[in-house]
Structure 1
Amino acid sequence: MNTSVKNIYKTSVSIPLFSLSSESSVGCGEFLDLIPFGNWCKQVGIDNIHLLPVNDTGCNKSPYSTISTFALNPIYIQLQVLAHYENIKDDVEKSFKKITFKEHIDYSAVRNKKIKILRQLYHLLPKTWSEGPEINNWINDNTWVKSYSLFCHLLQKQHNDPWKGWKEYRTLEEEECFSLWNKKQNKQELYFYIWVQYELDKQFKSAVKHLENLGITLQCDLSLLVPEDSCDVWYHREIFKPRLHAGAPPEKNLPSGQNWGYSIYNWKNYRHEVYNYWDKRLNCLSQYFHSIRVSHAQGLFRIWCTPEYNYSGILGYYTPAVYIDHKKLMEFGFDDTRIKWLSLPHIEGSKLFGILGQEASKVIELALNQLPNEDLYLFKPFIKGEKVIRELPLSKEAKKFLTSEFNSRCLIEVSKDKYALAWNYKYSPSYLSLSSLEKNTLLALSEECQRDSQVLWKKQGTNTLQYLISKDLDISVETLGVSPEGIYDVLKDMNIENTVVLKWHREWNKYGSPFLKSNQYTYLSSCTLSTHNTNTAKQWLRNEVLSDLQKESLNLPLGENQTSFNSYKSLIKHLLSIKCRNVLLNIQDIINLDEKNFHNINDIIINDANTNNELNWSYKIPITIEELSNNNDLNTYLKRNIQIRRGMEDASF
């Protein structure tokens, strides 16, 4: 954090490493591409490179879907500098010829081909290689690599199936893991994964050293959440809550919410162990990065969790939280029968047969139990969620009906005798059947829990952030989306930089909703025009019609088409004039500062979270780093405005 009297005005560039392209990279961006990219940053005056996560994601191309938060992704290795490369050079060039020149990154093809070639190179190493002091000292300094290499070995034996479905090795204890690791017949395979990580580590550190010599810092985007199907959760099962996933509550564009498949920390029982695990993660990151930006920092305060049996997040709730107590419900007149009515979905027989007709009998046989002497049905105990319903041998219409009914309830039983109000409680038959007095009573109990939860969240977030800022890394956060009350006061009190997206930062209560002027931003902000989940700046100008008042607040030329190249350049200039600690330029927004690129290149959202677009996480910059370095018009314009930004430091002193 900045503690000097003189304000510092940094300029950063954000890019997924895989998107880089250089004359030496093969298939995608690589760690050693950071060397020429850093030279370009120095050329135009950029202070900091912000990278999306670079950890191993296995078969998944999303950089956030890591199978290890310690291991680096093999796609980022540069093959040409490895020992014995000359022996297979022709095979490599032939193998990568087609995919290297593709318009987008073909993640699976790049990964599979690199792994295949790495195996060839590994088998060319001397047989005594694994006995040398250098590699074994490295293993001792990076003990995580033992569980990681074993996990990769077992994962391959299980055909890359999720570990929760493994018939053996699913719940190994630590001693059993190391017994397997030490078995002689496993050594060659395990050391392959170790060798790859060892070489990746050397290449990454070489690039970092070059950046440090240039005076350029490296920042990573960090999600403290971990995918369930990962080595981390497999090996550290005790610190995560079983059968719960992190996600997001329903919203306008995603009415069913989201189940991200990330595990939930068991703070209540294993707080000390969670912090020990984080210590190891942060120590590993500090080998390469000078700062971290915590992605979705709301999760440090509270996280939306949903049962693992559901695809959606509609039956989720926040944790930690204060929940409605069974005893309290009883005190206010809700007996056990009433509580069961509110917390379990009941289906009327007339509705069931009216919608499904003849198939209703089969649905009852497979999924429902009728209540004695009533035309009401409950789900059988084994129907725990949407995933179970989807596997039933029923029609799509029947599955859709059952899913809707299963998700229709007023209360969610979070744990024994603890309840949360369901997100869509207002539309559940059980809530609609309540009297006005009962509805008001239930809402009053929920609001009381909400107030108490706000206090709990603030304490949880403060404690977690205090832990993070005590580490030897500069910490900033990203809090885009719905945030708990008081989060911004906590960030302000702790002097923590927060990410701000300019197009959403307006004076909404004023006529015409003008954007903030450059001197109205909070200094401890990182301002940007776009993120990897949003439209680029050029797309935004083309999609949203701005009033003259709004154009004026952005310093765009009046009387000129806002989609013009001149307007676009003015927008970038305005961003760089904002008096915040950091301005974050996304790589696509920089590429478009060249007029030819601006008119001829179609931007894509790096990850359109609302779709399963096959182009998600496949963006590749359309020019090489070398071509970018030689683009005089783009570089001159960018350098001049960054210099003006730096000049604001003297004015603030």
Structure 2
Amino acid sequence: MTPLFSLRSETSFGIGDFNDLKKAANWAHSVGLKLMQLLPVNDTTATGTWKDAYPYAAISVFALHPIYLHLPDIAVGAEALLEKYETQRAALNALEKVDYETTLDLKWQFIREIFPIAKEAVFSSEEYQKFYAVNENWLRPYACFCYFRDKYKTVDFSQWTEAAYSDELPEELKEKDAFLVHYFVQYHLHAQLTDAAAYAHAHQVVLKGDIAIGVYRNSVDVWVNKSLYNTNSQAGAPPDDFAVSGQNWGFPTYNWPEMKVEGYDWWRNRLGHTSQYFDAIRLDHVLGFFRIWSIPVSATQGILGHFEPAIPIDKNELYRIGVHFPLERLWKPFIHFEILKEIFVDSFDKVVSAYFEEKEEGIYLFKEAFSTQRKLVDYFDRQEKNTYNRWLLQSLMELLANVILLPVENEEEAFHFRFNMQHTSSFQYLNNEVKNGLLNLYDDYFFHRQNDLWKSEAMEKLPAIKNATNMLVCGEDLGFVPNSVPEVMQHLGLLGLYVQRMPKQLGSGFENLKNVPYLSVVSPSTHDTSTIRGWWLHLSRAGAQSFYNNALLQEGIAPAQADCPGWLNRLILQDHLQSPAMWSIFLMQDLLNNNDAFHFANVEDEQINHPENPNQYWQYRMPIELEQLADLKDFNQSLKEMIAQNGR
């Protein structure tokens, strides 16, 4: 598995492109690998900055990303134009990491040069006419969206004169090059990815794509049909070991009842479109089809979200466990004098006078100007960026999240539990009777009462979506997993994901790969985790020893954590290859790390994404060109033998 942007070849333009898939397929075939998995390749061009390198925030779930265009294929007959970019191309290609902004800017610069020369021949071709006829429904609004994005310098369509899409818009723009160029680019991207997929097939390699769970809030899809999305909420994930405050992806959640009315056509069309290029698909966060973690737009941290749909807690349940005080004590931030004094110490007077007002003796409320996380973030965005202000913002945000319950919107005295409410100081200040009652309700809320509801939600949506495609569907089912997930996945023939270091059974140190079902994918790492080497270096000594003896079944003392030698990395790969899972899929980094020469000096640089970092720059690149990789006879022969010897 590798992001397309991470591929490196002699001919690429500072980033992997669709032509590089052919070279990757050549190498994969030569060593016996049979599948290449990519991250999403949809267009994410929203801000025009490096932040658009995040591949899971598509502005269109149908359009491919222009940054993956292989320029020589569209420069036929005008090679001299492309030659002018050679110095810049070579400089970008030599970089250790992707320079997203410069690469995209230069590619668009060339596209706009070649378009007036090449457009007539393309638009009059039979191949283009076929492409347009099949893709017109999404292509027209996408080209309009891009035109207005560039015209108004923002994707926030609420600021456009054309705040809603209409079929008249593409007719009004059909003579403008700034509109038509997007037809031109998407046609070439489609042709190049289709050609790369056919080439891979000819070399006995299949392609696995990635369907992101969300869409960008200001995307073509939302612009065209707002009724399919809940724009007053944000999708994310509850807290875990990687993100202690939860994750807020910023995407609107789906209006599933409205999607059901339309026969889930948006999802069915999305998977049908994707099947033009891919043989298998990863459904990102398949748990979202059971329930989604929904965060109000007034919050910025995932900790203030709740599962939707969910059967809430009502006031009578609270009364029965001994809550004989106003319920706002549980759902409003609990801010006691002693808590403020402990956090702010010498800054107490300054902070309290600026941000709080006293409700009653010893109990405080946030001033209205700071009463939500969003208000706080907006305020501090205007303040000086220094260590004190960053600490202060974080402390105030945590106080706003110091609640036990979250009120259900538009329902009187009905509540969701805040995740990990038992760790809040609000909880600690309650009497033991109420604490015990809340803990019992919390356990029922998260682990029992929702099971049937979430199962029925998945069984309503997933069959309709899965039946839209012949692709092999794999579900990314990591995280806080409802009890019904394995049953539903098995019933529908969806492959689950097993990551050895993230066992599905709580309390296990690691997943026993010999016990995973056939309908599954096993992997030692993902794009959201460290590599094998990064994981090994950060294991405790006891954890490393246990894994070495009990998972790898090796005798003696485990290697020290100074590094993860290639031979140990290879043992871990072999353990995965020997599992009964249908697929063993590895990060390219984990394959390369069989050779000590490919180890990065800073192991953190091997990781594609750090999910705890909301400002991650996705720019990992292979440390070696694909052509050079193909020439490493000893390395390739060793990898080929390892795959063959383990029956893969």
Please give the range of the TM-score, normalised by the shorter of the 2 chains. 0.7 to 0.9
Q: Kindly state the Cα deviation for residue 26 of structure 1 after the two structures are TM-superposed.
A: 1.6
Cα distance in 2 for partners of 1:326, 1:188 equals 61
Give the letter aligned to residue 564 of structure 1. Answer: P
- 1:531 pairs, out of 491, 501, 526, with 526
CA contact 2:281–2:472 (8 Å) conserved in 1:
yes
Q: Kindly state the Cα deviation for residue 633 of structure 1 after the two structures are TM-superposed.
A: 1.0
In the alignment, is residue 233 of structure 1 matched against residue 256 of structure 2?
Answer: no
Cα distance in 1 for partners of 2:314, 2:504 equals 41
1:646 partner SS: coil
Q: Kindly state the Cα deviation for residue 292 of structure 1 after the two structures are TM-superposed.
A: 0.6
- 2:483 pairs, out of 482, 485, 488, with 485
2:606 partner SS: coil
Q: Which residue of 1 aligns with 2:117?
A: 124
Q: Kindly state the Cα deviation for residue 482 of structure 1 after the two structures are TM-superposed.
A: 2.0
Q: Which residue of 2 aligns with 1:415?
A: 409
Q: Kindly state the Cα deviation for residue 489 of structure 1 after the two structures are TM-superposed.
A: 2.8
Q: What are the Cα deviations for residues 529-584 of structure 1, in whole angstroms up to 9, with x where unaligned?
A: 21112222233344434327734641557568474333333333333222221111
CA contact 2:576–2:584 (8 Å) conserved in 1:
yes
Specify whether residues 548 and 151 from structure 1 end up closer, same or farther in structure 2 by C-alpha distance, changes over 3 A only.
Answer: closer
Q: Which residue of 2 aligns with 1:202?
A: 191
CA contact 2:600–2:606 (8 Å) conserved in 1:
no
Specify whether residues 44 and 398 from structure 1 end up closer, same or farther in structure 2 by C-alpha distance, changes over 3 A only.
Answer: closer
Q: Which residue of 1 aligns with 2:38?
A: 51
Correspondences of 1:491-570 after superposition (within 5 Å): 491-505=489-503, 516=512, 519-544=514-539, 545=541, 546-547=544-545, 550-551=548-549, 553-556=551-554, 558=556, 561=559, 563-570=564-571
Correspondences of 1:589-604 after superposition (within 5 Å): 589-598=590-599, 604=606
CA contact 1:181–1:187 (8 Å) conserved in 2:
no
Q: Kindly state the Cα deviation for residue 308 of structure 1 after the two structures are TM-superposed.
A: 1.8
CA contact 2:545–2:557 (8 Å) conserved in 1:
no
CA contact 1:130–1:191 (8 Å) conserved in 2:
no
Q: Which residue of 2 aligns with 1:457?
A: 454
Cα distance in 1 for partners of 2:334, 2:450 equals 30
Q: Kindly state the Cα deviation for residue 399 of structure 1 after the two structures are TM-superposed.
A: 5.0
Cα distance in 2 for partners of 1:240, 1:514 equals 38
Q: Kindly state the Cα deviation for residue 439 of structure 1 after the two structures are TM-superposed.
A: 4.7
In the alignment, is residue 388 of structure 1 matched against residue 388 of structure 2?
Answer: no
Specify whether residues 507 and 402 from structure 1 end up closer, same or farther in structure 2 by C-alpha distance, changes over 3 A only.
Answer: closer
Structure 1 window deviating more from structure 2 (147-156 vs 355-364): it is 355-364
Correspondences of 1:50-199 after superposition (within 5 Å): 50-58=37-45, 59=48, 60-82=52-74, 83-125=76-118, 130=123, 134-142=127-135, 143-164=137-158, 166=159, 168-170=161-163, 172=164, 174-175=165-166, 178-184=167-173, 187-199=176-188
Structure 1 window deviating more from structure 2 (463-472 vs 115-124): it is 463-472
CA contact 1:594–1:633 (8 Å) conserved in 2:
no
CA contact 2:340–2:348 (8 Å) conserved in 1:
yes
Structure 1 residue runs without a partner (length 5+): 1-13, 648-653
Q: Kindly state the Cα deviation for residue 133 of structure 1 after the two structures are TM-superposed.
A: 6.2
In the alignment, is residue 610 of structure 1 matched against residue 612 of structure 2?
Answer: yes
CA contact 1:208–1:288 (8 Å) conserved in 2:
yes
Give the letter aligned to residue 390 of structure 1. Answer: V
2:233 partner SS: strand
Give the letter aligned to residue 248 of structure 2. Answer: N
1:98 partner SS: helix
1:233 partner SS: helix
Q: Kindly state the Cα deviation for residue 498 of structure 1 after the two structures are TM-superposed.
A: 1.4
2:30 partner SS: helix
Q: CA RMSD in A?
A: 3.3
Cα distance in 2 for partners of 1:431, 1:543 equals 33
Structure 1 window deviating more from structure 2 (576-585 vs 201-210): it is 576-585
Q: Which residue of 1 aligns with 2:302?
A: 313
Correspondences of 1:244-643 after superposition (within 5 Å): 244-273=233-262, 275-326=264-315, 338-345=326-333, 347=335, 356-357=348-349, 360-363=352-355, 378-379=365-366, 385-392=372-379, 396=389, 399=393, 402-416=396-410, 417=412, 418-426=414-422, 431=427, 436-440=432-436, 442=438, 445-450=441-446, 451-471=448-468, 472-505=470-503, 516=512, 519-544=514-539, 545=541, 546-547=544-545, 550-551=548-549, 553-556=551-554, 558=556, 561=559, 563-598=564-599, 604-611=606-613, 616-643=617-644
The alignment-based identity, stated in percent, is 27
Structure 1 window deviating more from structure 2 (428-437 vs 272-281): it is 428-437
CA contact 1:50–1:220 (8 Å) conserved in 2:
yes
Specify whether residues 485 and 384 from structure 1 end up closer, same or farther in structure 2 by C-alpha distance, changes over 3 A only.
Answer: farther
Q: What are the Cα deviations for residues 601-634 of structure 1, in whole angstroms up to 9, with x where unaligned?
A: 96611112223676x4211112221221221112
> How many residues are aligned here?
619
CA contact 2:9–2:627 (8 Å) conserved in 1:
yes
Q: Kindly state the Cα deviation for residue 135 of structure 1 after the two structures are TM-superposed.
A: 3.6
Cα distance in 2 for partners of 1:532, 1:350 equals 43
Specify whether residues 45 and 126 from structure 1 end up closer, same or farther in structure 2 by C-alpha distance, changes over 3 A only.
Answer: closer
Q: What are the Cα deviations for residues 72-107 of structure 1, in whole angstroms up to 9, with x where unaligned?
A: 111111111114431302212133221111111111
2:176 partner SS: helix
Q: Kindly state the Cα deviation for residue 344 of structure 1 after the two structures are TM-superposed.
A: 2.8
Q: Which residue of 1 aligns with 2:200?
A: 211
2:234 partner SS: strand
1:420 partner SS: strand
Cα distance in 2 for partners of 1:536, 1:399 equals 32
Q: TM-score, normalised by structure 2?
A: 0.86
CA contact 2:25–2:205 (8 Å) conserved in 1:
yes
Structure 1 window deviating more from structure 2 (188-197 vs 125-134): it is 125-134
CA contact 1:324–1:420 (8 Å) conserved in 2:
yes
Q: Which residue of 2 aligns with 1:7?
A: none
Cα distance in 1 for partners of 2:217, 2:171 equals 26
Q: What are the Cα deviations for residues 262-320 of structure 1, in whole angstroms up to 9, with x where unaligned?
A: 22111234423371110111111011011111122222211211112222112111111
Q: What are the Cα deviations for residues 101-131 of structure 1, in whole angstroms up to 9, with x where unaligned?
A: 1111111111111111111111223568656
Q: What are the Cα deviations for residues 359-400 of structure 1, in whole angstroms up to 9, with x where unaligned?
A: 645546xxx6x76x8776655667562121233378947755
CA contact 1:356–1:398 (8 Å) conserved in 2:
no
Cα distance in 2 for partners of 1:537, 1:455 equals 37
Cα distance in 2 for partners of 1:218, 1:307 equals 37
CA contact 2:247–2:612 (8 Å) conserved in 1:
no
Cα distance in 2 for partners of 1:600, 1:383 equals 44
Cα distance in 1 for partners of 2:146, 2:615 equals 28
CA contact 2:524–2:586 (8 Å) conserved in 1:
yes
Structure 1 window deviating more from structure 2 (246-255 vs 131-140): it is 131-140
CA contact 1:491–1:497 (8 Å) conserved in 2:
yes
Cα distance in 1 for partners of 2:408, 2:160 equals 29
Structure 1 window deviating more from structure 2 (439-448 vs 629-638): it is 439-448
Structure 1 window deviating more from structure 2 (323-332 vs 92-101): it is 323-332
Give the letter aligned to residue 68 of structure 1. Answer: S
Q: What are the Cα deviations for residues 452-505 of structure 1, in whole angstroms up to 9, with x where unaligned?
A: 212111222233332333232211112222211231232233333212122344
1:182 partner SS: helix
Q: Kindly state the Cα deviation for residue 434 of structure 1 after the two structures are TM-superposed.
A: 5.1
Q: TM-score, normalised by structure 1?
A: 0.85
Cα distance in 1 for partners of 2:514, 2:245 equals 40
Q: What are the Cα deviations for residues 228-278 of structure 1, in whole angstroms up to 9, with x where unaligned?
A: 232222222111112211112123443321211122111234423371110
